[in-house]
Homo-oligomer: A and B are copies of this chain.
Amino acid sequence: MARYQAGIRTETKILEATRELLAEGGLDAATLKAICDRAGVQAGSFYNIFPSKEQAIMQVARDAIQAVDPNPERSYTDTLDDLVDAYIRFVTDQSDLARIYLQVAVSGSADDSVARRFLRHHVRRVERFAAAMRRADRSLPDGEATTRAEVLLGALDGLAFRWVLDRSFDFAKHARIAAAHCG
């Protein structure tokens, strides 16, 4: 545990390096040596702070998963547009985390605790989207709203995925069209 300032600084540097490497080249690029080199730190220092490489990666992944959700405290007042805009901003402004968000989810099979975390988070997101839809249209049945939310979130994830493969793809435009069709 970091209790001196030096330790806290080192932890930060390591997490930054890990995040950059994950964004640039995925899990394969985030080797211990690469992380330590970029953070300007030796292996021993790494293991003084993190019990394993995986723990550092998990922490970055956790941050990425949480960053996709805007203002969790006002979960029950936001509109569908708010949520979609937040997703667009997340993908375009925090593209590093967005990329990790998608990568971690797919390659999670090897380490299924990440996949489970991702899924739990997704379910909560679907509920939030569905609630926003029902607030806009009170006559919408509960099940219908959930189904629509699943479709919309699927579309957003799929389009983000498309954008990760080809940065010239206009993610925002397509995301808004998807929202218009499903909302």
Nearest B-chain residue to A29, judged by Cβ: B110
* Cβ contacts A170-183/B at 8 Å (1 or 0 each): 00011001100110
Binds B, one of A37-45, A57-65, A114-122: A114-122
For A182, the chain B residues whose CB sits under 8 A away are: 181
Identify which of B109, B110, B165, B173 contacts A108 (C-beta below 8 A).
B165
For A24, the chain B residues whose CB sits under 8 A away are: 109
For A122, the chain B residues whose CB sits under 8 A away are: 162, 165
Q: Once the chains bind, are B161 and A155 in contact (CB under 8 Å)?
A: no
For A28, the chain B residues whose CB sits under 8 A away are: 107, 109-110
Is A157 interfacial (CB-CB < 8 Å)?
Answer: yes
SS class of chain A's interface: helix, strand, loop or mixed?
A: helix
Nearest B-chain residue to A150, judged by Cβ: B174
- The number of residues on chain A lying at the interface, defined by a beta carbon within 8 Å of a beta carbon of chain B, is 41
Chain B min CB distance to A65 (Å): 13
For A106, the chain B residues whose CB sits under 8 A away are: 26, 102-103, 106-107, 161, 164
Q: List 24 A-B contacts (CB under 8 A).
A: A25-B110, A28-B107, A29-B110, A106-B106, A106-B107, A118-B165, A119-B166, A147-B173, A147-B177, A150-B159, A150-B162, A150-B174, A151-B155, A151-B159, A154-B155, A154-B159, A154-B174, A155-B158, A155-B178, A156-B158, A157-B162, A158-B161, A181-B181, A181-B182
